[in-house]
Structure 1
């Protein structure tokens, strides 16, 4: 059962989830998201593709775009991010895949390149990351970069160095996988730092507590909150729960709007409300109990 929380009213918030793995979400899950105030979401390419072949990655791109379309049909502003994830670099067909990426990024649902980054590090991962950053710079696309929890500080330092060398616009880079030890370095470089609300060890509650403390301490500049839900569990409602917790902690409406959506949508250059006014809208109503 999902613990009941009130729909987000009282400080004019509609949250945007910058880290939603929505490919497997059904209609009931999407209805819950909408009812509890999630206005839209970015659905990134991730490491769920198997096996790590060029054909499977192309299929993964189609699935991510399909998920963004399902969000839109459900009355949510769905956007996709496409790229070659560092854990899914194919042994064959990589050059052809990178050559096809510009066309894939041109689909109307696609708002960013990603998730890209480093998983273990090394020459191959770095070359693939650099190639995709060059493409993002050429196409003037925002970038979602992911850093794993294992080796987070070391890999974050290396990712930041590669981003600097690539000379991409720092304000158009969202670095996911940030935590209390790395968020200052990421924001200090001019990037946006995404804090996951699906904690690996303590679960969503602990992750939300940590995010609230960081926002209260550092302020909203450069910080993005995302559920990171949908791949291996996670709390689909973590973002509205975090918004509620931020309000109870005494943080103002402007701060909540920025970290729970505004910083992400500005980076992506999207306007969820405008998209929803243009597209089909599902009727709103209380969701059924999961």
Structure 2
């Protein structure tokens, strides 16, 4: 498989500096070699331009921080995702914070029909400007892809993703508005308790039946490292206790990736400035290797 590695070195969506350093940190620690050893070819490494200007964070939008900085970068990412697909490459997007998924999900849904999303995250990221307690865009990307949010974000999406085609795994921190959204839109959600009570086989079989019945051909995978229990990932900005263990995630991913067709992926929220003894860095590299030994094999 040919990969385009797309670097989105931004902290604007989380308003906590350090996460923008993650793409370079991963590349500098042999990610390219790791992916090649998984029998993939690196087509190219692409840096999306991020405006470096830290003036008034509410300059253009009083409900979304750094809105004027986020819009051009996610627009550029959306266009690059479509270009990668058109050249038969697999886009691997390295964040940066989770607001980057506004761009990757837009490119994904604009290019493919019959789409689904796998969202692996401690958070739902289903807030809108009116429901977000923090005004941070990294809590809004999934909602945008479903047709809810700021109009400029929504204008990037030619096609909305069906909320019923979204599967959230590991979620355990939801705002009230997000809880209502999930119930109203009949979304599939498996929290930490689900991993304790259900074996991965059961979760994957349920997913496979739905995918087959509704003829979903292509999935975007979005992986936020805060899905792990904080003991494993000191280097992330929004940790949530009672997270998943590394072995749990691996067992689940092993079955998931043999069941569905993943055509693109985000990897987000690694903050090197918060890491301890490279613990989070090493886990990030380990998980990326684990994933790319299994994606589309």
TM-score by length of 2: 0.38
TM-score by length of 1: 0.39
